[in-house]
Amino acid sequence: MEASSFVLVAGIDPGSSEWRISFLENGKHVCSDSEVCSSPQAPVCLLERNSVRLSECQLIAAPSGFGLPLTRVEELNEQKLFEVTLQPPSAPSLLGLRKALNWIREQNLPAVILPGVKHLPTVPAHRKLGRIDIGTADKVAATAFALAKLWERNGVLDHSFLLAEVGSHYTAFVVVEEGEIVDGVGGANVQFGWQAAGCLDSELAVLVKPKKRDLLRLGAVAYGANWHSPHSATEAFLEGIIRTAAGLLAVHDTIDLIICSGLLGRRPEVLTALTTAAAPYGASVTTPPSPPPSASEASLGAAILADGLCNGVHAPVVETLRIAEARGSVFDYFPHWVLERIRLNISI
């Protein structure tokens, strides 16, 4: 895209409990808005409320789910929508995302789908093998926010850190080495999220078939309520954070900084758990500046990426993360029979 003296962009974070939208003008935060996910129509209400400002944007980083290589929303077909949502059109849990993307398309807004971690060329193939979720597009956006804040502080982008994104439902991790994303553990692969199951025991998933998707709601909160043992559930949640963070630090032993963000990322017990994981590796734990009201690290990071894609002040962040070089599909690195089984089970 051509550089402009005036760049207005937006970034949208499709959070599990609340959607957020942030606007940047010439790289500076202008305003943000949010909407609690009370119904599938809630995200559209958020967009409609901000329709005038959205219509003035040069680019919008759309809600991107599991992500795609940079793709205009107007180019989305049913196959690409399935890759973004991983659910068929009738799935109620993600109707809000589909409705929002359809609204953006109907308004002819200049919007793009951002990549997830798996699409980035900086992640080695062996870390993509047999995995769909190694970090959704909003985790890439949250990483962009953390990297941009480090850049603002000391003027360089070749930072190395572990981002812990602790949300209201899922917890995820992204590894950055010298400014590039090289690894990640998505929310579906961490032991427990606060309100979502994270990784599942495959034996359990087989036993409860065909209602295994219901297990995704069994986060620490649900276990605490059902067992009348909130302490044990909280311990499982925090220990899952320690296990995953320590495992990543063991593999990436040059990382000496953990950055914690997300809705629950500033809770003292979460920071203590990360400090426990970091201690054997000599790493420190910090948090980025708190987002403005109604914003999130992911909504601001998505707007930062949109600004960079417009050759705005954050273009170096986009270049360092190699966002424009994203390729492939979340279904890459799986045996053919797995993909055939998916096609048989879900008609697209």
Q: What is the pLDDT of residues 125-182, one digit of tens each?
A: 999 998 999 999 999 999 999 999 999 999 999 999 999 999 888 899 999 999 999 9
Q: Which domain holds residue 141?
A: 8-345
pTM for the full predicted model = 0.91
Q: Prior bond to 210 cis, omega within 30?
A: yes
Least reliable range by pLDDT among 44-58, 139-153, 214-228, 249-263: 214-228
pLDDT computed for residue 125 by the predictor: 97
Using DSSP bridges, classify how beta strands 180-185 and 171-177 pair: parallel, antiparallel or unpaired.
antiparallel
What the block records as the tokens of 227 is 């067992």
CA distance 95 to 86: 12
pLDDT computed for residue 2 by the predictor: 45
pLDDT computed for residue 337 by the predictor: 86
Q: Does residue 5 carry a pLDDT above 80?
A: no
Domain contains 61 = yes
pLDDT (average), residues 43-56: 97
Which run of H or of E encompasses 54?
Answer: helix 51-55
Counting the structural domains of the chain, the total is 1
**How many angstroms from the chain centroid is the CA of residue 244?**
17
Q: What does the pLDDT look like over 306-347, one tens digit per residue? A: 999 999 999 999 999 999 999 999 999 998 888 887 776 665
Q: Does residue 210 carry a pLDDT above 60?
A: no
Domain contains 199 = yes
CA distance 158 to 147: 9
Q: Does residue 22 carry a pLDDT above 90?
A: yes
Q: Does residue 1 carry a pLDDT above 80?
A: no
Domain contains 1 = no
Residue carrying the six token digits 């201690």: 279
pLDDT (average), residues 282-293: 93
CA distance 198 to 188: 4
pLDDT (average), residues 32-47: 93
Q: pLDDT band at 3, cuts 50/70/90?
A: very low
CA distance 128 to 221: 30
Q: Nearest to residue 198, comparing CAs of 133, 124, 284?
A: 133
pLDDT computed for residue 32 by the predictor: 98
Question: Which of the listed ranges 97-111, 187-201, 326-340 does the model predict with the highest average pLDDT?
Answer: 97-111
Domain contains 2 = no
Strand partners, 32: 22
Query: How crowded is the C-beta side of 141, counted as CA atoms within 13 Å?
Result: 38
Rg value, the chain, Cα:
19
pLDDT (average), residues 91-104: 82
pLDDT computed for residue 203 by the predictor: 58
pLDDT computed for residue 347 by the predictor: 57
Q: How far, in Å, are 51, 240, 313 from residue 18 at the CA level?
A: 18, 24, 28
Least reliable range by pLDDT among 11-15, 47-51, 226-230: 226-230
CA distance 279 to 329: 36
pLDDT computed for residue 339 by the predictor: 81
Give me the sign of the Cα torsion angle 240, 167, 303, 73: positive
DSSP state letter for 108: T
Q: Does residue 25 carry a pLDDT above 80?
A: yes
Q: Does residue 198 carry a pLDDT above 70?
A: no
Least reliable range by pLDDT among 199-208, 251-260, 301-310: 199-208
Residue carrying the six token digits 């010439």: 26
